[in-house]
Amino acid sequence: MQSENRLFDDLVKFMNGAAGTVAGVGREAQAGARERAREWIGGLDFVSREEFEVVKAMAVAARDEADALRARLDAIEARQQADSSTIG
């Protein structure tokens, strides 16, 4: 009876070791695939999320500034037009 328990214990230890090894191989394969994907994508002309967000914020600021300048120019032109119509 003890020999059967010892055999069963050895089998359980072997299976636990095999499961740990398979899990380790899986993690290693996933890390390797992720690294290869990063290298492949890095070779392309993609930008990071942080770079994209910075440029997006710059574009919004530039658009706001252009809108403000357009409003100032419209006000100056309207004032000049009003001045020229009162003079003439």
DSSP string, the chain: -HHHHHHHHHHHHHHHHHHHHHHHHHHHHHHHHHHHHHHHHHHTT---HHHHHHHHHHHHHHHHHHHHHHHHHHHHHHHHHHHHHHH-
pTM: 0.46
Q: Which of 9-13, 23-27, 56-60, 84-88 has the lowest mean pLDDT?
A: 84-88
Residue 2 Cα distances to 8, 9, 66, angstroms? 10, 10, 87
Residue 77 has pLDDT above 60, yes or no: yes
